[in-house]
Structure 1
Amino acid sequence: MSFRLPRPARMIFGLGLAAVGFPAMAAPDPGLQAFLESTVAQVRARNHLPAVAAVVQIDGRIVAETAQGLRANGFAEKVTTGDLWHIGSDTKAMTATMIARLVERGLLRFDETMGEAFPDWAATMDPAMRKVTIVQLLSHTAGLLPVTDDKDLDSVMAIAGPASGGWQVQRANVARAFLSRPPATAVGHFAYSNLGYIIAGAIAEAHTGKPWEQLVAEEVFAPLGMMHSGFGNPALPHAHDQPWGHKPVRGRLVAIDPGSPGSDNPPLIGPAGMISLPLHDWLLFAQDQLDGVHGRGRLLKPETYARLHTVVVAPYALGWGVKPGADGKPDLLTHSGSNGYWLADIRIMPRHDIITLLVTNAGNDAANKAIVEIGKPLRDRLKPFD
């Protein structure tokens, strides 16, 4: 997504999070650590990026990690391995997992239709959209408008109503409006849509009375001990306590003050892409998804992880891009995320118990190129599919 509209300062829910702790640091692999540091340094310099961070975890232990560059171009503060990063659409896997927790509790069903989810206005829905299910929302097969650029967002914001009404009200307004329209794409066919996740978030809110932000904090962050995870820009306005996003201006990347209008997506987009966190917190979530493939995850039953990780229409499952193995279990769970000013990439290889996370505080073409130029040689070195 590349939305550029005003939003309030970053928000973190204080929930007395469980002290699960960060992933263990293994005795580092000196060769892999040196390779990662060198590759990140060369690629960052070649692509003129403000900062890049990367971490590799194998068998539940961090074996290599690095953070290089500046929190904000034009300022002196350097990034650290404990800094927070905006992960954009990589949020979707956490939204899907939160909804799966509600399904296990009996508050939702994966096959629940839009007519059942919003009975008070089911009669006003388009007949085809009334039959769309939560699984179809989460797998981008619901026939919805993609909402992946500024023009699409303008129409969504016009429908959502004023922010003063609250994000829950905005999400409900968006759901009601778009479910009343005929499908924009063929229902059952894959068409990536952030709108599907906004509506899924609205369903969770309607069934629980809690905002999506609180639900994710309670259902995902707290039980996994993700104590430093939150929403929106990771840095405080006008401060260099965390990295800033960057936008291209006349051929160079310019830091965007988190307090400035347009520094992030509007909060109603949250379920589709608004989480920010340190890489060690992200590893806690990634490791739980990996463990879920092996039947030992903390958050969900094995059969529910399998539902999340099973392809609906290639290449997408529920919140994940998936490369399935011969036995149907995933060889790879992956996703990339960006709000236009950041870029994040996650790769989970369950058969080899490998996780790689790559992030940068820029979202331009050079950032996308850098993720490839770091990720491919890193995976070649790890040889996860040999």
Structure 2
Amino acid sequence: TGDKITLHHLLTHTSGIPNYTAYADFFKNETRNPYQPEEFIKLFSDSTLHFTPGKKFEYSNSGYFLLGAILEKVTGRPYELVLQENILTPLGMTNTGFDHYATILKNRAAGYEKEGSGYKNADYIDMSIPYAAGSMYSTVEDLYLWDQALYTEQLLSSKYKELLFTPFIPAWSSSYGYGWFIMQLPIGGGNDPLLIHQHDGGVNGFHTVISRIPSEKHMIVMLNNTGHAALNDINLAINAILHDLPYQLPKRSFAKTLWEVASTKGFEAGLQWFNENRNSTDYELNEYEINVMGYQLLNMQKTKEAIIVFQLNVDAFPESWNTYDSLAEAYIQDGNEEMAVVYYKKSLKLNSKNTNAKKYIKAHKS
């Protein structure tokens, strides 16, 4: 399919190449191992395209991984040196770089994940895995230097900056340029909508958002090291505050509150709380957080409770293949092969690349 895909497709997430982080068991099987770029690309290079290149937007880390490998091929230099020589050194970004685990960095933040009412260290991931789709460390101050350079021609000519921020294709509730979501934020009072360049991102234990308001040269940056925080809600509130508009505080996590109730008052009380508050607008229901809670219960050998929680996630997010996959795993631990097959089949309908589901169904054909 390489003859069908252009750099433009990779930059705009319109290539159709499946996102390798969405592969079943990817984080469990691959992320601890170091890879060279060409070696890692073999994991997805023969994948069937999800759609004809250029026809739609589908976020794919695979595309940006390929862009890094292309940079290395064209320049003959490692990706991180290309960044260093062309961006970081010219801008004086001395606290930014490609993150190598073995390198000692002063004041480097560790990544954590919420677990019940407390926290745990985030799972290790070798930074050769995110590669050109992530793998960088930085500071708010350094990102400000980069942001301000984008208003000059120090990094890019006007011609290429225009490409960077052109809304090429609809992407969720906004449009997408080259590595930027381009959106219009209504600010009320009859004024024209506010143009915003924005992106968020995440890796084990970390979650980030950067938002640029070019007409005002404002930039909002949030770097969070507890993973899956409500940064987008916070970003919207800050934008509202900057323009003297009403704002809402981020909503409490539905999953975390459910866990707290279940931990302190018992699982039945937790279910009662869930049923009483499932339609409440005071809480944010997050698929990932509910899933984590289910696996926490599985690890505690509370299989029946885990099945109930995974079923709640299936009911809340019926279009997610991963919710069905998790429920199938819970039924396996419960010894119910028939129900495991039922939910693996549902998962496969939504994600034909779910190899775990294929293997289990094949092994348990009646």
TM range (shorter): 0.5 to 0.7
**Partner letter of residue 278 of structure 1?**
T
The answer for the alignment partner of 2:177 in structure 1 is 317
Counterpart for residue 377 of structure 1: 237
Q: Return the alpha-carbon distance in structure 2 between the equivalents of residues 225 and 240 of structure 1.
A: 17
Q: Identify the match of residue 77 of structure 2 among 197, 204, 210.
A: 210
Match of 1:143 in 2: 16
Cα distance in 2 for residues equivalent to 1:335 and 1:349: 12
The match for 1:305 is: 161
- Residue in structure 2 matched with residue 109 of structure 1 by the alignment: none
Give 2:91's aligned residue. Answer: 224
Asked whether 1:244 is paired with 2:244, we answer no
Distance (whole Å) between structure 2 residues aligned to residue 187 and residue 379 of structure 1: 35
Secondary structure (helix, strand or coil) at the match of 1:355 reads strand
For 2:127 and 2:51, the matched residues in 1 are separated by 25
User: Could you say which residue in structure 1 is the equivalent of 2:203?
Assistant: 339
Q: Residues 234 and 277 of structure 1 are in contact (CA less than 8 Å); yes or no, is this contact kept in structure 2?
A: no
Q: In 2, distance between residues paired with 1:350 and 1:253?
A: 37
> Counterpart in 1 of 2:145?
284
Aligned-residue sequence identity (percent) comes to 24
1:279/1:357 contact within 8 Å kept: yes
2:101–2:127 Cα contact (<8 Å) kept? no
**Higher-RCO chain (CA-CA 8 Å, sequence separation at least 6):** 1
Alpha-carbon contact 1:145-1:185 (below 8 Å) kept = no
Shift of 1:265: 4.2
Q: How many residues align?
A: 233
What TM-score do the two structures reach when normalised by structure 2? 0.57
The structure-2 alpha-carbon separation of the partners of 1:154 and 1:362, relative to structure 1 and needing over 3 Å to count, comes to closer
- Structure with higher Rg: it is 2
1:270 is displaced (CA, Å) by: 1.3
Question: Displacement, 1:382?
Answer: 1.0
Residues 318-338 of structure 1 deviation map (CA, whole Å, 9 limit, x = unaligned): 11111269xxxx921100111
Amino acid at match of 1:244: A
Q: Report how far residue 374 of structure 1 moved.
A: 2.9
Distance 1:139 1:263, change over 3 A: same
Instruction: State how far apart, in whole Å, the 2-side matches of 1:177 and 1:150 are.
Output: 10
TM-score normalised according to structure 1 size: 0.54
Residue 384 of structure 1 and its aligned partner are, at CA, apart by 8.9
Query: Cα gap change, 1:152/1:131 in structure 2, threshold over 3 Å: closer, same or farther?
Result: farther
CA distance in 1, matches of 2:103, 2:119: 20
Residue of structure 1 aligned with 2:67, choices 179, 197, 200? 200
Distance 1:240 1:266, change over 3 A: closer
8 Å contact from structure 2 (residues 121, 205) kept in 1: no
Q: Tell me, yes or no, if the aligned pair for 1:338 and 1:363 is still in contact at 8 Å.
A: yes
Distance 2:161 2:113 in 1: 37
The alignment's C-alpha RMSD in Å is 3.2
- Match of 1:270, as an amino acid? Y
Encode CA deviations 1:160-192: one digit per residue, 9 max, x unaligned. xx74xxx5xx32234456444431334211000
CA distance in 2, matches of 1:324, 1:380: 13
Q: Does 1:269 align with 2:130?
A: yes
